[in-house]
Structures are given as C-alpha cells and as structure tokens.
Chain A
Amino acid sequence: MNPDPIQSEDPKPVVLVVDDSLDVQRLLRARLRSEDLDLICADNGADGVALARARLPAIILLDLDMPDVDGFEVLRALKDDQRTLEIPVIVLSGLQNAQDKVTAFDLGAVDYITKPFDLMELRCRVRAALRLHHLVQMLAQRAQIDGLTGLWNRAYFDSRWKEEFSRAVRYDRPVSLSLLDIDHFKSVNDTYGHPAGDAVLQAFCKVLLRESRHTDIACRYGGEEFALIMPDTAPADAAGVCDRIRAAVAALVWSRHPDRAVTVSAGVAGGVPVDGFTPVQWIEAADEQLYSAKHGGRNRVMVRDTGANPLTLARAG
C-alpha cells in the first residue's frame, strides 16, 4: 500500500485468462499484445481461482466449458471470496449457449465474449472492463482519502491500523503508531482565517509524506491531528522518523508570515505487541504520549515502548 494515495503509481493491469485450451490462451496473448497489460493464464478452474487470489487481477477472462472445475464453479468461488469478489469477470462462451450467459450474469459476470473472437470486439470489451475496474478502484480509494490533504482518511486508518497491529502480533514483529498534532492550530485559524489554516494543514502533509518512509502509512486522524502507522518499526526508530518530521515542520518558512513558526507535537507508542494489548489501547497509549508532549511544552516527540517494557518512557526533541 502506497503511503501517498494521490501519487500512487499505476502499474500495468493484470489480466487473468482461465481457459483449458492452449490455442485460446495463445490467441488471446497475441490479440491483446498491443494493449498495455500483463496477461497471465491458468489451464483449469482450480488453478484459475488460486491465481486470482494470489495476483488479484484487474479483470478475468473466464471460459465456461472446462473439464473438472467449470467456469460456473470458478465464478462462484470468486464471488464467495472477499478478495476476489469485486474483480470484473468476462465470460468466454460459444455463440450457441444463451442460457450459459444468463447463468454467468446471474453469478456476477459483467460481460461476455463469444468464441470465435472478433478482434475489435475482444479489445473493446477488455478495455471497457478495465475502465470499469479502474473506476471502481478509484471510487473505493476516494472513499478512503481525505479531500483536503490527499492522505488516507480516518476510516482507512481504523481498518489499516487493526490490520497492521494483528500482522505485528502474528509475526511477532514491532509496530509503531504516532499521533501528531499541529500546535496552537486554533490560533492560526482564528488569526489568519480558515484558508490559511488549510494551507498549514496541506504544507504539514507534504512534510509528513516527505520525511516519512515509503512503507509508513500517513492518515488524517481528524482536524489537525494525524496518524502515522510505521510497520516493522521499533519505537526508537519511530521516534527518529517523528523527530525528523517535527524538525522539518519547525524549519518551514511561511512566505507571508516569515516571523511565525508552526510546530508539531507527537506521541509514539511502539514495540512488539504483548498479549492482551488491543489496537485501541495502543492508540490510547500514543495519545497519552501526545498529551505529555503538549504538556511538556509542545514541539517535541514523546515515546513509549508499549511492547517488551510497557512502562519505559523515552524522550526526544
């Protein structure tokens, strides 16, 4: 997952062909060579389902009439799995089987292509399905993005933090969470107006993305508060990242108010999760550290090793 959704790169879409006929696979490969996509093939239904789960293709071209696990069974398996549920499936079917197409649509297919393929039709339908996939992806992502800053929003944070936390528990790896809050933000809004406040939030986000690492997940937690999830990161390293952010924000020069500095406080909870600790308690621990950073004079980072030694307090900044 890219920490900056707005700037995420768009790799070639993966198109999965599930067809037991090698002739058809070769033909599709040749006919779709001019399209900018990564074509992968499965010879049978079972492999098709496995490959779909492993690669999460943008679209699937699915033959209905296959021995053993046929196309209908593959469709059911795809639609039964949360991961593959949304992948548009185009059914490859003979002209003669109208009922098959109806059944396939009932099972969730989005389109069909009849064999033998008409070249132009094949390309158009593949393009249309790719466009659909792209739009669905974009909508899903938009629902998780904060409009002002372009960071992941609170809803995304909530689900991603749970995921990263349970991953850390499962693999016995450290994870760190930082809550960052812009100091005296209310006074920026009150003194210079809300547009200026928005500009501060946006400038802060740029610094947050620039100074955090590619694997960190930056989210707007609410108002002027931000969350940075740092997978596989011990608390001391997380404190280092946050202090880099803190220093870079403090060093910003505001062209219209060069005498005015904006600072940020951060609270970090990190470590290998111990038994019984919940993701919510972990957020509370980070929040406590943020609270003490504020009370300690702001423009600082406070860290708690919430893992091995839950009582240790460290301090940076």
Chain B
Amino acid sequence: MPDEPMSPLRPLISEFADEPELKELVQLFTSELPDRVRAIENAWSTREVTVLRRMVHQLRGASAGYGYPTIGHAAGAIEDRLRELGSTDEPGWLSLRRQVDQLVNLCRSAAMGVPRA
C-alpha cells in the first residue's frame, strides 16, 4: 500500500508576532520547537510516559501565551489521553500516534512561520 501523501505544511504565524513586548520571545520559543519535536518523537517511540506527559503539559500551558493556541490544544488533548491511559494499554498508546503527529506538524509549521532572528 502506497504511503498516504503528506499534505504540505503551511507556516503557522503567532498571534503575537507583531507585539513588540513579545516578538523576541516568540522567536525564541519557535526556535526551540524543533528540539521539542525531536524530544516528543523520542519519548513516544521509547514509551517514556512521564517524559512525554511533562513535555505536552508544558506546551499546553505556554503555547497560547506565545500566540499558538492550536499547539496548546493539541498538546492538551495528548495530556488528557495520557491521564486515561494505562501503562500497558498497547492499542491506546498506538492510537496516540495520530495526535502526536498532529502536534508535531503544528510545531513544525510554527517553526517555519518565523524568519530567523
């Protein structure tokens, strides 16, 4: 079966991109997103529930503050699922993949949306 074609990512712009008070901080936040994406992917594939929960919890709390509410929601959805999930819930864990992908894509889009400082 051929791979489903990936829809091309479109840059995601922060709601606060033009706010002088936050501009630099938003750039800092987005410049650190690729590292987070790697860490999230890593935590998912090695099944480090605590690490993954901590990472999405922090994204949930902070993303909207940097003007990325959709990232916050996506991270929040994963955090809520992780709360319900037992450590041995194999199908449940695998079904998280779609949500993790969604979060990862949003983070990548945000990282694309900001010109280098």
Contacts and interface: CB of A to CB of B under 8 A. Distances in A.
B65 A67 contact: no
Contacts of B57: 65
Q: How many residues of B sit at the interface, in one of the four size bands?
A: 20 to 34
Contact of B69 (A31, A63, A116): A116
Interface in B1-45: 21-22, 25, 28-29
A20 B64 CA distance: 17
B61 to A, nearest CB: 4
Interface centre among B21, B62, B80 (most CB of A within 10 A): B62
Given A21-B58, A23-B58, A96-B80, A30 B63 contact: no
A24 interface: yes
A94 to B, nearest CB: 7
A92 B25 CA distance: 20
Contacts, number: 51
Interface string A290-307: 000000000000000000
B29 A67 contact: no
A67 B28 CA distance: 24
Contact of B65 (A20, A27, A33): A27
Contacts of A30: 21-22, 25
Interface residues of A, number: 19
Interface string B88-114: 000000000000000000000000000
Contacts of A117: 65
B66 A27 contact: yes
Nearest to A23: B62
Given A65-B57, A96-B80, A116 B22 contact: no
Contacts of B21: 30-31, 33-34
A26 interface: yes
A94 B28 contact: no
A260 interface: no
Contacts of B54: 67
B25 A21 contact: no
Contact of A24 (B50, B61, B69): B61
A115 interface: yes
Given A27-B66, A116-B72, A94 B22 contact: no
A23 B63 CA distance: 8
Contacts of A116: 61-65, 69, 72
A111 B29 CA distance: 28
A92 B57 CA distance: 13
A24 B62 contact: yes
A63 B57 CA distance: 12
B78 to A, nearest CB: 13
Interface string A205-237: 000000000000000000000000000000000
Interface in B48-63: 50, 54, 57-58, 60-63
Given A65-B57, A67-B54, A115 B62 contact: yes
Interface string A9-24: 0000000000011011
A20 B58 CA distance: 8
Interface of B: 21-22, 25, 28-29, 50, 54, 57-58, 60-66, 69, 72, 76, 80
Interface of A: 20-21, 23-24, 26-27, 30-31, 33-34, 63, 65, 67, 92, 94, 96, 115-117
5 contacts: A23-B66, A65-B57, A94-B60, A94-B76, A96-B76
Given A96-B80, A115-B64, 15 more contacts: A21-B62, A23-B66, A26-B25, A26-B29, A27-B62, A30-B22, A30-B25, A31-B65, A63-B61, A65-B57, A94-B61, A115-B62, A115-B65, A116-B61, A116-B64
